[in-house]
Structure 1
Amino acid sequence: MSDPGDVPPEILDRLSRICLALPEAYEEDAWVGVRWRIRMKTIAHVRTVDRPTGATGPLVVMTFRAPDDEVGAFANGGRAYFRADWGHNVVGLRFSRRTDWAEVRELLTESYRIQAPKKLAALLPDPAG
């Protein structure tokens, strides 16, 4: 049986570098796993789950916030994504060898924009380029 808080260091390190580059974001241990926050709002939460439905072993998952109009697309976007069973705009990502880290960076940046005060979110480059 795996420890649900045992996130592989290579995933944790990459997520930390992405999240901690965001203005005033910080990392902390969660009840299980690790989360990154802006003020008191969670940007992302990563943890290992033991034998989720359809998996053959432990799986690393991350939840994050998505724009309301994109939540349905994520929920129907294939095996990598799932709709969390809490929060109206919470989406999950299952990590695998094929995880696109450029996409993870974009997802986390968007989650930050949703959760951060407008003044801090405005410090990020415009996503439209």
Structure 2
Amino acid sequence: MAKKERPPVPDAWVDRIDEILRGLPQVHCEPAWVGTRWRVQGATVAHVFGGEDQLFRVTFRGETDEVMAFQHLGAPYFRAEWGANVIGLVIDDDSDWAELAELLTDSYCLVAPDRLAAQVDRPA
């Protein structure tokens, strides 16, 4: 059986995520092994990619208790199979981009050096 191709993430979605993250100190965007990722000083803040199932996902970091909570919420959230603190979210046209902005900002604050994270207004 032939492996399905991974679809490219719509540019509009990459741009929306970039708009959320580019204002944070020292974040840069780069191509990943698949999709696009945003990093700060070598640590991945977020990664967006298309899957072989033709769905689009964004992964990001969360507190350990948040990872478990999101895992139990179920779709569109999931626990990534790598990293103890990685949360995944299936995104589509109906995604809550305001909520995603908060989650990505939290992710940044978890992986950025303290001096950089201290410069960010973190969501309540």
TM-score over 0.5 for the pair: yes
Q: 2:120 & 2:106 partners in 1: Cα distance?
A: 10
Which amino acid counterpart does residue 62 of structure 1 have in structure 2? V
Matched, 1:125 2:121: yes
Which amino acid counterpart does residue 91 of structure 1 have in structure 2? I
The 1:47–1:68 alpha-carbon spacing in structure 2 relative to 1, beyond 3 Å, is same
Q: Secondary structure at the match of 1:94?
A: strand
1:107-118 superposed matches below 5 A: 107-118=103-114
The 1:64–1:98 alpha-carbon spacing in structure 2 relative to 1, beyond 3 Å, is same
Q: Is the CA contact 2:106–2:122 (under 8 Å) kept in the aligned structure 1? A: no
- Number of equivalences: 122
TM superposition outliers: structure 1 runs of 4+ over 6 Å: none
The gaps in structure 1 that reach 5 residues or longer are 52-57
- 2:101 is aligned to 105
Match of 2:79 among 62, 79, 83: 83
Which amino acid counterpart does residue 96 of structure 1 have in structure 2? D
CA RMSD for the aligned pairs?
Answer: 1.4
- 2:37 is aligned to 35
Identity of aligned residues (%): 46
Q: 1:26 & 1:41 partners in 2: Cα distance?
A: 10
Q: 1:126 & 1:86 partners in 2: Cα distance?
A: 25
**TM-score where L is the length of structure 1:** 0.89
Task: Tell me by how many angstroms 1:2 deviates.
Answer: 6.0
Q: 1:3 & 1:11 partners in 2: Cα distance?
A: 19
**TM-score where L is the length of structure 2:** 0.92
